[in-house]
Amino acid sequence: MPDENEGVDPVIVFEGSQAEAEALHAMLTARGVSSSVTRDREVEGGTAIVEAYIMVLPDQAEEARDLIADVKSGAASRKG
């Protein structure tokens, strides 16, 4: 069976540190949003903040952005 998302370019919904991207990726996954984290560059020694991106399929971009905004504003923790 062909993948209906094959050939669809993902959309960047977050840019920031690797640690924050991984945490947000876990939250999105827990809420049913399929996402991936991509690092912009490697830093020798791994001691500096590494820029990272979260990408989702276009049809989930609005939901992902809303969830990320809720987390950043603290609303997600107040929703129960």
- The predicted-structure confidence for 23-61, as pLDDT tens digits, reads as follows 999 999 999 999 999 987 666 666 555 689 999 999 999
Per DSSP, 32 falls in state T
CATH for 11-74? Answer: 3.30.70
* Residue 53 and residue 21 in contact, taking contact as beta carbons nearer than 8 Å: yes
For the whole model, what pTM was predicted? 0.75
Give rounded-to-5 percent helix, strand, coil for the chain.
45, 20, 30
Phi, psi dihedral angles at 35 (to 5 degrees): -140, 165
Q: Which of 1-5, 6-10, 39-43, 49-53 has the lowest mean pLDDT?
A: 1-5
Q: How far apart are CA 15 and CA 26, in angstroms?
A: 15
